[in-house]
Every structure is written in C-alpha cells, then in structure tokens.
Chain A
Amino acid sequence: MHFLYFFKVYVRMMCTAKKCGIRFQPPAIILIYENEMKGKSRQRIMPVRNFSKFSDCNRAAEQLKNNPRHKNYLEQVSLRQLEKLFSFLRGYLWGQSLAETMEQIQRETTIDPEEDLNKLDDKELAKRKSIMDELFEKNQKKKDDPNFIYDIEVEFPQDEQLQSCGWDTESADEF
C-alpha cells in the first residue's frame, strides 16, 4: 500500500506535458507527456463524454481539469487551452470549418479596437472586461511583489516634434 501511494506522488511530479490536442471522432482530449524517469513520450487519451454542440466549453474544461483520474496529468495544461480545444470540438459538432471556428475563437478572445463598448449590455461588457483583465493581470505589479514601488513617475514629454497618434482628424476645428 505504501509503495502505491508513493508511486502516485511520483507520477504527479515527474509528468511533463508536451502537447495537448483534441480528437473529434470519437471525441477525446489527448495529452502527450514525458515521464522523466523513462525519458520517453507517452500519450494519454481522455474521452470526452456528454458533450454536445450546446455544451459550455468553459465548464467542460473545468470538469476535465478537476477529474480525479486526469487532474495530475493536466496540471500544466491551462484551463484556457482546454477551453479552446472544447471550442474546436463544438465548432465541429456545429458543422463549422476549422477556419470558421478559429475566427470565432479569435473574436471571442480578443478586443476589437473599433468596437464601442458603451453600446454593449452588461453581459457582453463583462466578457470584454475579462479579456482585458488578462493583459492587466499579466502586466500588473502587485503590492506583494518584492520590487513593488507605490509611486512611479516617468516623464513623457509632449512638446517635441512627436508623430501624431493618427486618431486626430486633419481639419483644424476637430481634434
């Protein structure tokens, strides 16, 4: 019994994810990982069950990531990547081409700089904000960071011959 227990811990520590993809037919998430001990690639096939074209990709990704049988293997695979894989499957179930699905994912995970967010409802605005929050969090200097400085001042002189931002119109009346 003791031996088994240690073995499990061992697997968790030594499994290095290499690639993660999706198979449409029959649907499964496939992980290529390396078991450092043996130094060779292994493949793990995780069948996707109860997923329809109406399913929520985010929820499906969360369920798989928390699945007791797979979670150790998926530790290094981000929720976002899994969600994206499920989006591919969903697109396939809707009969979309790969290009169409790619475009849709792109639309849902990036901000259209031309879009007027004032015109969106609460739900759509919250979606855009969560996309923006990702970059915010990536660039954020937090209070607990060792080199955090509360008051950072950087001068950006505006008086030189700067290139225009390109957002001003030519006419003198308008800015």
Chain B
Amino acid sequence: MASDKAKPCELNQEKYDADDNVKIICLGDSAVGKSKLMERFLMDGFRPQQLSTYALTLYKHTATVDGKTVLVDFWDTAGQERFQSMHASYYHKAHACIMVFDVQRKVTYKNLSTWYTELREFRPEIPCIVVANKIDADIKMTQRSFNFARKFSLPLYFVSAADGTNVVKLFNDAIRLAVSYKHNSRDFMDEVLQELENFDLEQKEEEVPDRVQRGNIESPSPS
C-alpha cells in the first residue's frame, strides 16, 4: 500500500456533489473522434490529465451558465471502450453524457445501443446527446434520418471535429443540460444512494466514535 501514498488523490468524486461542479462523460467506439471533439472545443485551453489507473482522460473546463461559474470535468475514455464497457466509476455521479458515432462507419452506430444500455444501467435519467461526427467526410449523411436517436427521444447533433461544425454548440448545450439536471431533477438512484450514505454515516457514527476514520478505509495505515 506504500505506493498509494505517493499517488495524489486522483479521483475524488465527492466533489461532483458540490453545486458548481458537473461531470460529463463521453461514450462511443474506438476512433469515432471523442478526443478530437474535446480538443476542438477546448482549443488551446485544454490540458488533459491522463489517469492511467482508471483508463480515462480528464479535461477540465470552466464555463458560465446563467451568470454562474461552473467547473466542468469532461471524462473521456482512454482505450477502455475497446471492451465495449466502462468501469462503473466512469458513470458514477455523471450529470450528462455525450454519445458519439462516426457517420462513415455503420458499426459505430450499431454499437450505440450497447453503450446506451450500459449508460442507463448506471444513470437511468441523465441527459444524453447523440453525436454524428465526421460530417465533413460525408455531408450527405446530414440529410438522413437516424432512428436510434428518435426511438429514445434523444437530441441528435451533426458535427465535425475537423471543420468545427456544431462542436461548440454541442458542448455548451451539454453543460447546460448537465447543470439543469443537477439542479432540477434528482435522480431516483441519486436519492437512494444519498439515503444509503446517510444511513451508513449514522451507523458509523454509532459504531466508531472517532469520526476521522470514516471514509478513510482505503487510505494507507500510518506505518
């Protein structure tokens, strides 16, 4: 456990409970352009953090929604999508999802259903945007209907990370949706989890008088 001590606390997801923090996750197959979209939106402002232990790349962004500052963490996959499944912690506390496919590759569209099923397993209510990327490669695809989005009543955005079409709009809308989700509709799962946490807390307080112990189960014991 000694090595754990040197590692900074990389992923404290508690912060996503704070009012001004939102977490937005990206989903989709390998090479659909998830990272390229992130980079186009953030331009020079991006400084991704590679969290290899969690197989993810984190992009931090500060936005202003209705005059209020919002700290946004964008979670991007780092190869784990190849297993067509993400770790549960990837979905944990997420407030919105951006789900991407490549208009040049049918298989990436077909796989949306797998991604969507997994997303709803963990986050049944969060807003989700379907993104048709790479329209610069085949603009005719913007004149086609895509039933997947229609079937689940999800918004569909036609974008191009290369020429920039609708990229900024996509991310700004996603942030807005994440914020409004967080403030307005409390997810049933969130409430259950909150209840459980409170329950846990009460119990712990009874059992362990020393409150410092609580929540530190995984930290290295002082040697």
Contact = CB atoms under 8 A, between A and B. Distances in A.
Interface size, A (range): 35 or more
A118 B29 contact: yes
A175 B151 contact: yes
A141 interface: yes
Contacts of B164: 141, 149-152
How would you classify the secondary structure of chain A's contact residues: helix, strand, loop or mixed?
A: loop
A117 interface: yes
Contacts of B142: 156
B146 interface: yes
Contacts of A118: 29-30, 81-84, 111
B160 A139 contact: yes
Contacts of A125: 30-31, 82
A13 interface: no
A62 B94 CA distance: 47
B45 to A, nearest CB: 11
Given A117-B29, A150-B43, A162-B144, 15 more contacts: A116-B29, A118-B83, A120-B82, A125-B82, A128-B31, A129-B31, A135-B162, A139-B162, A139-B163, A151-B168, A153-B166, A164-B145, A165-B109, A166-B144, A167-B146
Contact of B109 (A114, A120, A167): A167
A51 interface: no
Contacts of B110: 167
A140 B163 contact: yes
B21 interface: no
Nearest to A173: B151
B158 A116 contact: no
A143 B44 contact: yes
Contacts of B166: 152-154
B136 interface: yes
A3 B136 CA distance: 51
B84 A164 contact: no
B169 interface: yes
